Structure 1
Amino acid sequence: MNIIRCVFLVLLTVILLPVNANDKKNDKPYVIQPVTEGLGIVWGMDFLDDNHLVFTQRSGQAGVINIHTGLVTWLQGLPEVYDERQGGLLDVKLAPDYAQSGWIYFTYSKPSNGSAVTTLARAKILENKRLDWQDLLITHSESFEDIHFGSRIAFDDQGHVFFSVGDRGNRANAQNLKNHAGTIIRLNMDGSVPNDNPFVGKADALDEIWSYGHRNPQGLVFDRETKRLWEIEHGPRGGDEINLIEKGQNYGWPIVSQGKEYFSGSPVGETHKEGMIEPVKVYIPSIAPSGLIVYQGKEFVNWQGSLFSGALVLRHLNQIELDNDGKAVSEQRYLQELDQRVRSLTQDKQGRIYVATDNGVVYRLSAQ
């Protein structure tokens, strides 16, 4: 099996390179190479160290990839996940102090009363490759719809963990602060609630909520250079959004939207409303975003500070260049030649970008 995999990777590299950066007519700023293949839907990835990526598969498995050999070591001790439609094992991120604490954070769809709820957990990898698992917050996001679970994880530089929850297919949830659906949640690293969260102590709101009015946020990242928290979410038919997330703010869904109803084509809500935060960027038509990073590496000097997101429906890697005020000033689309749904992405210390597609392949982008 390992021989077959190696042959595949060599052939795939030979096939892909001519249609990428080595073809000057295409003017691609990167070389793309496959790292490994034969996986399922890789929902999240993060680097354990310089040589190994930890990843999740939506179907409920997690493993570690050696980025030099492409070999996968599977982890044990994962919980039961609700692997239906958009549910499953979702994001994975290492704690900022991972080298000392050993904590790895996960989000997943936890089975509950015939459906599932988005849940934040953390775990440590034991010597036998088994995870010592601990649920931190089982959200109040109940729904019998198998959609819009979210969910991505981000850490700030003040000891907090953020994660996103979709509206679970019930639009009114996103404006109801008595549940977690349609929100960005902020916790201390141990899962407790920070005292300065915006709704702490309010009878008509949950303490964990940081922002609300979101439809289905599938990208979340904290920019340590600018101290900004960025989110990207699915709109309905059109109207995907990039948002700059601020404490206690309402991002409008479904009262405000730039999208339309799937079947009738009529507008969803209003396009603007006082007191609700405007998106930094709107995609019409929808790209169906998934995964988000702020590029901070040295490999691609011209990409510093840009946002990169995967695109599922329009099948590409999406770049948004930002100015110093956090406004979107330009957009580029890469990897369209692959014609694959880009699900998750991360970067190594050198600044090379790693992209996973729903074809079960993990690719590496490096400079020419």
Structure 2
Amino acid sequence: MKHLFMILTFIAALIGIECQASSSPDYVLEQVAEGLGIPWGMVLIGPNTLLVTERGGQLIQLDLTTGQRHNIKGVPQVYAKGQGGLFDIQLGPTDSDTDSKQQWLYFTYAKPVAGQGRTTLARAQLRGQSLIQWQDLLVTQSATTTNRHFGSRIAFDDKGHVFFSVGDRGHRPNGQDLTTHAGSILRLNLDGTVPQDNPFVTDDNALDAIYSYGHRNPQGLAFDAKNQRLWAIEHGPRGGDEINLIKAGGNYGWPVVSFGKEYWGPFNVGEATFKAGMEPPIKVFTPSIAPSSLLLYSGHAFSAWRGDLLSGALKLTHLNRVVLDGERASSEQRLLTELKQRIRQIIEDDQGYLLIATDSGFIYRLKPR
């Protein structure tokens, strides 16, 4: 009985964390752009110059001061069907010896291969209003007959590695199958080669690029350089969205363990919510918020948020803030509920202000009042 009480207490801590409404906001929300296609990824390449990926396959350069925008040429053909398309964009790491003109932009997108889409990590350089030297670094082994659950977000550590996520592609067994990249978070060197210390490089029955597995559809990654750890947020089924602390070689359980239910009825997905040998989530969202991105806030504009995790919510249309206490989620706050828009991506600028993109084609700037 004592053991059962401890399990129930832990579950309550996961799904019953304090939730505060944004009834007295201390921020100002400014609209900076509208009329975009679904703006999936954003990256600043200057104080007022923003690159935006549209899921339909366009790359837009936006001047945040004037509102002027240009289509960037050189994006390859994209598999823009269902949930497929052009996904994340990130500016690659640089150092004092790197020529800024040689800095790489990293992308994830659904690449059309034999009539199906495969989540792909690529990089290119920007020259004027064109991409040059486009390189597909890894066309993942993830094709299925569905157009669901491609992932995909990108994160860098400070040791020359790039992480990116791939969803289970709508085929649940992929989550536990190490012979496919689907349902995994992958780690590569910046040039696309496989690090020799990846957890499965000596396993003949696993793909070398896999860093963790047992994921359903991770659409947010954030690397914490201070504490040298990688955070991920992923979609559960009906209920059961998760925030996970990613460990090398970790199995995160999908679809064997889950906090979600079937879409077709009130039945649990999987065998249990916890199982030995599978990593438990740091936080579970029930009902689902449908998380779309993840940012570990490091700015000074919202000083109380430093070190917190921020995510967009699609289904429940808000900005989600999770306060961390070490490796534990201690509280949650839901902001921008009055906006009533599906928040797709959040980044921060040099001043610590937030840039927020929504599926309705808007980009906003969030500043302290």
RMSD: 1.1
Deviation at 1:100, TM superposition (A): 6.0
Alpha-carbon shift at residue 132 of structure 1 (Å): 3.1
Q: Which has the higher contact order (CA 8 A, sep 6+)?
A: 2
Deviations 1:120-155 (A, max 9, x none): 000101234344311000000010100000000000
Deviation at 1:26, TM superposition (A): 3.3
Q: In the TM superposition, what are the counterparts of 1:196-345 in structure 2 within 5 Å?
A: 196-269=197-270, 270-323=272-325, 325-345=326-346
| 1:77–1:132 contact (8 Å) kept in structure 2 | no
- The answer for the alignment partner of 1:360 in structure 2 is 361
3-state SS of paired residue (1:204): coil
Measured after TM superposition, the shift of residue 258 of structure 1 is 0.4
Partner Cα distance (1:129, 1:77) in 2? 6
Q: Which whole-Å CA distance do the structure 1 matches of 2:132 and 2:337 have between them?
A: 37
**C-alpha deviations, 1:98-121, integer Å up to 9, x for none?**
836320000000011221100000
> Which residue is 2:31 aligned to?
34
Displacement of 1:185: 0.2
Partner of 2:182: 181
Alignment check: 8 A CA contact 2:289 2:313 kept: yes
Q: Which residue is 1:18 aligned to? A: none
Deviates more, 1:143-152 or 1:112-121: 112-121
Residue 137 of structure 1 is matched in structure 2 by: 138
- Give the aligned partner of residue 16 of structure 2: none
Partner residue of 1:50 out of 47, 51, 64: 47
For residues 67 and 111 of structure 2, the distance between their equivalents in structure 1, rounded to whole angstroms, comes to 30
Letter in 2 for 1:68: T
Q: CA contact under 8 A between 1:35 and 1:67: conserved in structure 2?
A: yes
Q: Is the 8 A contact 1:36 1:71 kept in 2?
A: no
> Within 1, Cα distance between the matches of 2:62 and 2:101?
22
Q: Which residue of structure 2 lines up, in the alignment, with residue 95 of structure 1?
A: 92
- Between the aligned partners of 1:297 and 1:85, the Cα distance in structure 2 is 35
Q: CA deviation at 1:228?
A: 1.4
* Aligned counterpart, 2:18: none
Amino acid across the alignment from 2:46: D
- The residue aligned with 1:105 is 106
TM-score by length of 2: 0.91
1:163 counterpart residue number: 164
User: How far, CA to CA, are the matches of 2:218 and 2:101 in structure 1?
Assistant: 30
Do the aligned partners of residues 141 and 298 (structure 1) sit closer, same or farther apart at CA in structure 2, a change above 3 Å counting?
Answer: same
Name the structure 2 match of 1:9: none
Query: C-alpha offsets along residues 3-46 of structure 1, whole Å, 9 cap, x if unaligned?
Result: xxxxxxxxxxxxxxxxxxxxxx9321210001111101000011
TM-score normalised by structure 1 residue count? 0.91
Query: Which structure 1 residue ranges, 4+ long, deviate > 4 Å from structure 2?
Result: none
Separation in 2, partners of 1:213, 1:224: 24
Structure 2 letter corresponding to 1:313: K
SS in 2 for 1:337: helix
2:312 aligns to what SS in structure 1? strand
Match of 1:194 in 2: 195
More deviation, 97-106/42-51 = 97-106
Distance of 2:114 and 2:229 partners within structure 1? 37
SS for the counterpart of 2:130 is coil
- How far apart in 2 are the matches of 1:276 and 1:179? 19
Question: CA offset at residue 56 of structure 1?
Answer: 0.3
Partner of 1:10: none
- CA distance in 1 between counterparts of 2:240 and 2:266 reads 12
Shift of the alpha carbon at 1:249? 0.5
Cα contact 1:178–1:205 (8 A) shared by 2: yes
Cα distance per residue 1:44-80 (max 9 Å; x no partner): 0111121111110000000111111222121001110
Code of the aligned partner of 2:84: G
Give the distance between the partners of 2:23 and 2:129, measured in 1 at CA: 47
Paired residue type of 2:156: F
Aligned residue for 2:40, secondary structure, equals strand
Provide the residue aligned with 2:63 in structure 1: 66
Separation in 1, partners of 2:307, 2:131: 36
Report what 1:76 is aligned to: 73
**One-letter code of the match for 1:119?**
T
Amino acid at match of 2:104: W
1:214 is displaced (CA, Å) by: 0.1
Report if the CA contact (8 A) 1:315-1:342 is conserved.
yes
Checking the alignment, whether the CA contact within 8 Å between 1:75 and 1:131 is kept in structure 2 is no
How many residue pairs get aligned? The number is 343
Query: Which deviations, in whole Å up to 9, do the C-alpha atoms of 1:177-236 show, x marking residues without a partner?
Result: 001000000000000000000000211000000000000000011011221100000000
